[in-house]
Amino acid sequence: MAGDTVEPLQTVSELAAEQGGVVSRRQLYAAGVTRWQVVANVRARRWQTVGDQSVCVHCGPLEDHGHWWAAVFQGGPSACLDGAAALAAGGLKRFTVDRIRVSVPRGARVRRTTLYDIRQTRRWSKDDMVLGGVPRTKPAVAAVRAALWARSDRQAALVLSMAVQQGLATPQAIGQELLRIRRDKRRGLLHALVNDLLDGARSLGELDVVAELRRRGLPPPDRQVLRRDAKNRYFLDLYWHHWKLVVEIDGIHHAWAENVVGDALRQNSISLAGDTVLRLPLLGLRLCPDEFFAQIERGLALAGYRREAA
């Protein structure tokens, strides 16, 4: 850009460094860069356009951070990242965001693009937005919406539990946000998941499993059976003494790093004592109960259990 002053370029460079290499056209023009200068740099392949509202100041691949800003710029002045995209921008790891979701208020002008999913929503509220950084909804709000908008119940459970496990939102905060949802086909499932996350459903989970075993015509187990080894005492959630089968009911917290070692030692101790151990996550009870109860019946059958003739 020969002949240009240094100041506009320096301003643009500083903005781009904070925004994943992306600046909006409005920011460019406010910094003193003219439209023809933008066109010249794009034609010279020094810059590249992202949608029709953003410019990336390099021609390499765009990282997530740049896409988040470009998506918000495309949505307009009231736009914010929402759902899983907002969680990712807030630090969520190891969760694949299929398409960046951007929310704008009802009645706002929507600039459609194939790059990002920009939608008007009656749930948009300025009070739900994070102050600072890329505009996005607060983690608890984003977690609930990500779960509501997930492709499947499994994906909904995954994103909700990961948000809690990685410390982005507490179960209490997610529960408060969920109370704002009045109607949705997944509302009941999410309430059950939040209850599991609060770990207030452990005994309820055992009661649910025992009731379901009875409904399926399987023998009732003993509950909370005390077992000792050389160093520790363990309570077995469900135990069929005659068939030496143990079923451990895992709340979501069992998948967390601080519990993995203790759970492994516990299971190994039980197995070394000659019992078969099956694990039933509460998420499994919510999402695919038939598969887990079929495994329990098979475990009993392998140990000699036979159903009584009707």
Point out the residues of the chain with pLDDT beneath 70.
1-6, 199-205, 229-232, 251-263, 309-310
Pairwise CA distance, residues 33 & 51, whole Å:
19
SS3 182: coil
Domains delineated in the chain = 6-56 (no CATH), 64-197 (no CATH), 202-302 (3.40.960.10)
CA angle 275, 252, 229 (to 5 degrees): 30
Helix or strand holding residue 91 (H, E):
none
pLDDT of residue 253: 52
Task: Give one DSSP letter per residue of 265-303, joined into a string.
Answer: HHHHHHHHTT-EEEEEEHHHHHH-HHHHHHHHHHHHHHT
Pairwise CA distance, residues 44 & 187, whole Å:
52
pLDDT of residue 200: 46
Pairwise CA distance, residues 49 & 207, whole Å:
58
